[in-house]
């Protein structure tokens, strides 16, 4: 049975919309706790203009420290978001080896987010992706607003597929579909990912869902059924794109982990360190965060297996709480 890859983006997507800046030392502690949980990927930040996004002003410092202290990784890889060539250059100087970059399928969202049309942004991202790949970095390219746009409404499926085809033609085969506006529904998710995965045998599909209208976790499950490999979330359900009509948080990392535990998968990833980060974030921001498992606690492991891909097997020993 395939194993899902779990990617927390809370330190970037989760914090970018927050007014209160998180101290660098607090971020260091959160990174260490998240790495302890066994997550595969942790997005440390984005290389953007610190005057526009003050929460990301210490991304360079954090990456330099993480690269110089590899023991902090605890098996995790650290990722970064870049929006333009300058951000990519900063990331490469800091030793980043896993870059995330993307383009919006909504022209309106693209112009608000990057100041460029979808067509121009696609050309730019492809060139950046090739440059990073040539430097032996892993590159994940995404199509944002792939399932709908808060400004334009429905986004034509063909528009998303055309962008993905261009990525694949450029040799960029790790592709994420992002539900920036939170408009996706499970049927649409299964249909669109089935079409994307049908474009070639070497595609690694990732998904990024927001829980704007309460369908985030259902969409995660639909993506899993469709063959998606990698799943992004933010601890505590933090986040939201500041350039969409209705900003809402990501699916909660701890809820996604718990979902896969209930499917008999990824018992090597423990929720407790993630829940500790959520608790500390609630104290810092002085409010309750979305999500369920950090309030209720996970269902105790009882050895049952509820896999959905056929056959039966015992779940791994209970390390999920």
Instruction: Copy the structure tokens of residue 120.
Output: 């121009």
- Per-residue pLDDT at 320 exceeds 50: no
pLDDT tens digits, 214-256: 999 999 999 999 999 999 999 999 976 555 544 557 999 999 9
Averaged over 97-101, what is the pLDDT? 97
Q: Which pLDDT score, from 0 to 100, does residue 248 have?
A: 59
- CA-nearest of 50, 126, 55, 141 to 85 is 126
CA-to-CA distance for 244 and 181, rounded, in angstroms? 6
Strand partners, 102: 142
Residues 6 or more apart whose CB falls under 8 angstroms from that of 33 comprise: 273, 274, 276, 277
Residue in the structure block whose two tokens are 């085809």: 165
Q: Which residues are catalytic?
A: 241
Instruction: Copy the structure tokens of residue 116.
Output: 């460029």
Q: Which pLDDT score, from 0 to 100, does residue 241 have?
A: 56
Do residues 256 and 231 lie in contact, with contact meaning Cβ atoms separated by under 8 Å?
Answer: yes
pLDDT tens digits, 268-314: 999 999 999 999 999 999 999 988 999 899 988 765 544 443 333 33
**Average predicted confidence (pLDDT) for the chain:** 90
138-144/5-8 β-pairing: unpaired
Which stretches of 16-68 are DSSP H helices? 24-37, 59-68
Strand partners, 41: 7, 77
For each of the domains in the chain, give its residue range(s) and CATH number, in order of start.
5-296 (3.20.20.70)
Q: Which pLDDT score, from 0 to 100, does residue 246 have?
A: 46
pLDDT tens digits, 26-63: 999 999 999 999 999 999 999 999 988 999 999 999 99
Residue in the structure block whose two tokens are 């792939």: 146
3-state SS, one letter per residue, for 195-240:
HHHCCCCCCEEEEEEECCCCCHHHHHHHHHHHCCCEEEEEHHHCCC
CA-to-CA distance for 225 and 228, rounded, in angstroms? 7
Q: Which pLDDT score, from 0 to 100, does residue 315 have?
A: 36
Residues 6 or more apart whose CB falls under 8 angstroms from that of 168 comprise: 175, 199, 200, 203
Do residues 60 and 97 lie in contact, with contact meaning Cβ atoms separated by under 8 Å?
Answer: no
């Amino acid at each position: 049975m395939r194993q899902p890859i779990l990617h927390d983006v809370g330190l970037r997507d989760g914090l970018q919309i927050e007014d209160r800046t998180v101290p660098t030392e607090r971020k260091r502690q959160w990174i260490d706790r998240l790495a302890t949980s066994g997550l595969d990927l942790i997005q440390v930040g984005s290389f953007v203009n610190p005057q526009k996004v003050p929460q990301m002003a210490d991304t360079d410092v954090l990456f330099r420290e993480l690269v110089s202290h590899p023991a902090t990784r605890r098996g995790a890889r650290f990722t970064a978001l870049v929006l333009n060539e300058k951000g990519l250059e900063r990331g490469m100087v800091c030793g980043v080896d896993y870059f995330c970059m993307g383009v919006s399928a909504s022209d309106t969202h693209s112009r608000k987010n990057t100041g460029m049309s979808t067509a121009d942004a696609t050309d730019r991202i492809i060139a950046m992706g090739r440059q990073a790949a040539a430097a032996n970095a892993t590159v994940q390219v995404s199509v944002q607003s792939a399932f709908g746009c808060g400004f334009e409404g429905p986004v034509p499926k063909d528009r998303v597929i055309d962008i993905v085809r261009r990525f694949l033609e450029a040799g960029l085969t790790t592709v994420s579909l992002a539900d920036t506006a939170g408009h996706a529904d499970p049927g649409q998710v299964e249909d669109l990912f089935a079409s994307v995965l049908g474009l070639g045998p070497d595609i690694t599909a990732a998904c990024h869902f927001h829980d704007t209208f309460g369908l985030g976790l259902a969409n995660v499950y639909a993506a899993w059924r469709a063959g998606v490999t990698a799943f992004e979330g933010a601890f505590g359900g933090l986040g939201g794109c500041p350039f969409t009509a209705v900003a809402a948080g990501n699916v909660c990392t701890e809820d996604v982990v718990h979902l896969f535990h209930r499917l008999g998968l990824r018992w090597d990833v423990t929720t407790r360190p993630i829940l500790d980060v959520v608790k500390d974030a609630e104290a810092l921001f002085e409010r309750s965060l979305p999500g369920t498992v950090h309030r209720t606690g996970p269902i105790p492991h009882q050895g049952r297996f509820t896999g959905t891909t056929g056959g039966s097997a015992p779940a791994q020993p209970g390390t999920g709480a």
